[in-house]
Structure 1
C-alpha cells in the first residue's frame, strides 16, 4: 500500500521493484494481484525473508470466506515449505495515492488474512523460490530467482 501501482512490487513483472520501501529488519517478497510472474531479486545477506502465498485485505466476513478455500505450495531450492495461516488480524496500513488497492492515500484499518511464509536469512548465493496460492477463483504464483548478497566485510 506504500507504493503507487507504477512502482509497486506486487505489480512488478520482473523483480526490478523488489527493493522498494524495504524495512531494515526483514525483506518482503511480493505476491501478485492475481496471475503468475517470474522475478529476479537480490536480497541482502543476514536479512530474514517473508512473503505471502495467497492473501487478502478486507473485512472479517470476506476473510472467513477467503480462508475457507485458501491453499498453497511453496518450494525453496526444491524443498517444500509449510505456510503459516493467518485467519484474520486487524491491521492499519498507510496508503499512498495511486495505490492499486486503495486508490487514495491515508491510513486504513482492515482485516488481513492469508497464508504466509517467514524464513530466517538465506545463505549467500543463488536460490529458487516457487510460490503458488489459490482461494476460490483467485490464484497467484511467483517464480523467484533470488541472489543473496555476500555479507559485507
Structure 2
C-alpha cells in the first residue's frame, strides 16, 4: 500500500535571551551591560520513556485514529486532545502547518510525548526531511531537551477518512522527526509552547495544560 506522507509536526516557541546586547541595568549611569544567561535545557528523564519505534508507531496510530472532525492534529482549540489516549503515555498533537492554541486537561501521573516536527515516508524522504528538521519546546519558561530520530521502521493503523495518513488499515513505513518525552508534570496549570520546521514547512502549537490533582 502506498501512502502519501503527511507532515504533522508539533513545535514550541523559542525563547530569545538578551546576551550582552548593550542593555543597561536599571539606574546605571556607567553603561554596564546586563547579560542574561539562558537556563540550560531540562534533561530528558528515563521515566516512562518509549523506544524510538514504539513511540513513533503509537503516536502515528493515535494521530490517525479519528476522522477530520475530531482529529487531534486538525483540532483548533484542544477539544479533541483526550481522544483515544492510553494509560501509560499522553500524546500531544501538532498541526498541518501554521499556529494554533489549545487548552487540554491531562491526567495526573502520566508522561507526555510529542513531536516538534515529524514525517512518515520512505528512508530517502526521511533523510531529506531530517537534514533540515529543527525545533524547540519550552515548558513553563524553560527549554526542554529534544531528540532527533532519523529513521525507524514503524507500523501504523489508521481509520477511514483520517486526515493524517489518508488511508485506513495497517501499513509499514519509515518514521522520523524531532521528538520530546517528558515525565509526569506536577498538578496545576502549565504552559507549553512548541515550534518545528523543515525546509518550507513550519508548525507551532501553544498549549495550556491543566494537570489534574492526584486522586485520594
TM-score category, normalised to shorter length: over 0.9
CA deviation profile, 1:80-125 (whole Å, cap 9, x unmatched): 1121110011111111000113323100110110001000000000
Partner residue of 1:109?
172
CA distance in 1, matches of 2:136, 2:112: 17
Task: Tell me the SS of whatever aligns to 1:66.
Answer: helix
Select the structure of larger CA radius of gyration.
Answer: 2
Partner residue of 1:94?
157
Deviation at 1:51, TM superposition (A): 0.7
Deviation at 1:73, TM superposition (A): 1.3
Task: Tell me the SS of whatever aligns to 1:65.
Answer: helix
CA distance in 1, matches of 2:125, 2:148: 15
- Alignment partner of 1:40 is 2:103: yes
Partner residue of 1:12?
75
- Alignment partner of 1:58 is 2:58: no
Partner residue of 1:128?
191
Query: Which aligned runs of 4 or more in structure 1 are off by greater than 6 angstroms?
Result: none
Higher share in strand: 1
TM-score by length of 2: 0.70
Partner residue of 2:49?
none
- Count residues with an aligned counterpart: 153
CA distance in 1, matches of 2:75, 2:164: 15
Task: Tell me the SS of whatever aligns to 1:85.
Answer: strand
CA distance in 1, matches of 2:165, 2:179: 22
CA distance in 2, matches of 1:17, 1:25: 19
Deviation at 1:140, TM superposition (A): 0.8
CA distance in 2, matches of 1:5, 1:113: 23
CA distance in 2, matches of 1:82, 1:35: 23
TM-score by length of 1: 0.98
Gaps of 5+ in 1: none
